[in-house]
Chain A
Amino acid sequence: MSMAQKQTQQFVTIKGTKDGLNLILDDSCAFRDVINELDEKLSARHIQQTEGNVITVTLKLGYRYLTSDQEETLRSMIQSKQNLEVDRIDSNVISREEAEEERKRTTVTSVTRTVRSGQVLEVEGDLLLIGDVNPGGTVKAAGNIFIMGSLRGVAHAGANGDINAVITAAVMKPSQLKVADLISRPPDQAGTAVHEAECAFVREGYSEISVDRIQVLTKVRPNLTRL
């Protein structure tokens, strides 16, 4: 009896903080043991009796990896207890797929070619195009788009919904610009030709795409620096 108790106490440690509960789960035991012990501890009277506001719970998994099924089991078990709400799950490990996605999201893919009429060039992170986008051609990126040549076709940055994505081009003469789900096209009367690099982005609090000198990005998107 006393042996079993000692053993169970190793698996789950509960710490109260001003932000709620930290549940520190042992990462070397079986998942079933964690669930059972957690269930037992959270059912304890002093937690169940807490009155008033919802208590937010942070799960600390250490080096344990949870499959989505396991995560669901854990969440629904905790959620079923009175007043408890899972706020965050911290783990030191991620799966290969997640790592690959993360890598794709943050890498800059450089491509040297002309994107011609009818062609679509699509990348998952940022795109660095060393060449032109011709009329009728499309470049698309989940992140930012940097074009070293002329943009005469369509560029779509933040294709998965990132409104903070930017488009830059050495010569900005697009037929259309898209950032997340916003679209803009140049006025029908061609303005005076600009002979400097420009950028397109969505200003904070606006729902339209602005085009400005590229130097403006230093102020409006300082996070583009990844030094």
Chain B
Amino acid sequence: MGDAIVITSGKGGVGKTTTTANIGTALALSGKKVCLVDTDIGLRNLDVVMGLENRIIYDLVDVAEERCRLHQALIKDKRFEALYMLPAAQTKDKSAVQPEQMKRIIDELKQDYDYVLIDCPAGIEQGFKNAIAGADKSVVVTTPETSAVRDADRIIGLLEKEENIEAPKLVVNRIRNHMMESGEMLDVDEIVSILAIDLLGIVGDDDTVIRASNKGEPIALDPSSKASLAYRNIARRILGESVPLLSLQEERGMLTKMKKFFGMRS
């Protein structure tokens, strides 16, 4: 029985889909059986980022409405034997699926996979409710911008009300080191002090991430990229390893916070 982890943020455009694709890829690299689920019905992206768009036959809504069996809708990754994804429907909207249906699908996936990563749509409405319905754990993605941190705070509040979901963990994405150093951007310590949840990882702003996404090759595959290393580290922390943060200036003082992850179950 695997773990279902929802990746969410509240605000759009902070990197939920990129994070889902890369953590999934990194977990697959570690030899885990992983299934990615795109719940952004009507605005699906995960298949594009994974480079699997042209292989979609059935989707999440087909499974929910029982037009096909779950395994028929799953798409196997080009690169990994043990990495699959369940795409969202593009022709419907969020109301095409109910939370109970989502929970049933996720529960079924958990039987076969070590990790089920759920890519959540932006917002706090139906799409969000669907995405968290089957989740056991949650990762909140934010960027060092006040508006993104506000929305992350709102989302954390909603996640904390869910009894079946463990306390959310934080990923700070798109960090620009020079701006943080000059104080033009919120620094990681500040974000963690406001949001008051455990930090799972930080990812720098990196041109290679965008380039890779456009090619449909998750950056986690490229060992030379710093962002790739960041995602691999996040995956290792999810697996329960203790990995120090990457060498960003903000690292000082964060090491002690990372110790909280020592006890994290895989």
Contact = CB atoms under 8 A, between A and B. Distances in A.
Interface of A: 114, 116-119, 131-132, 134-137, 152
B150 A136 contact: yes
B157 interface: yes
B196 interface: yes
B173 to A, nearest CB: 19
Given A116-B154, A117-B154, A135-B150, 6 more contacts: A116-B156, A118-B154, A118-B157, A132-B194, A136-B154, A137-B157
B63 to A, nearest CB: 32
A117 B196 CA distance: 13
B8 to A, nearest CB: 14
Contacts, number: 30
B187 interface: no
A144 B158 CA distance: 27
A29 to B, nearest CB: 56
Interface string B144-177: 0000001101101110100000000000000000
B102 to A, nearest CB: 23
22 contacts: A116-B156, A116-B157, A116-B160, A117-B150, A117-B153, A117-B154, A117-B157, A118-B154, A118-B157, A118-B158, A119-B157, A131-B196, A132-B194, A132-B196, A134-B195, A135-B150, A135-B194, A136-B150, A136-B153, A136-B154, A137-B157, A152-B194
| A-B pairs, 4 with minimum CB distance | A116-B157, A117-B154, A117-B153, A118-B154
Nearest to A136: B150
Interface of B: 150-151, 153-154, 156-158, 160, 194-196
Contacts of A131: 196
A135 B196 contact: no
A117 B159 CA distance: 12
Contact of A114 (B150, B151, B158, B196): B196
- Report which residue of A117, A119, A131, A134 has the largest number of chain B beta carbons within 10 angstroms of its beta carbon: A117
Contacts of A114: 196
A118 B157 CA distance: 8
Nearest to B153: A117
Nearest to B157: A116
Contacts of A132: 194, 196
Contacts of B150: 117, 135-136
Contacts of B156: 116
A118 B153 CA distance: 9
Contacts of A118: 154, 157-158
Nearest to A152: B194
A119 B194 CA distance: 15
A25 to B, nearest CB: 53
A152 B154 CA distance: 14
Contacts of B195: 134
Nearest to B152: A117
B195 to A, nearest CB: 8
Nearest to B197: A114
Contacts of B153: 116-117, 134-137
- Report which residue of A116, A131, A132, A136 has the largest number of chain B beta carbons within 10 angstroms of its beta carbon: A116
A137 B151 CA distance: 12
B160 to A, nearest CB: 8
B261 to A, nearest CB: 20
A114 B157 CA distance: 8
Contacts of B157: 116-119, 137
Contacts of B194: 132, 134-135, 152
Contacts of A137: 153, 157
A119 B157 CA distance: 7
A103 to B, nearest CB: 28
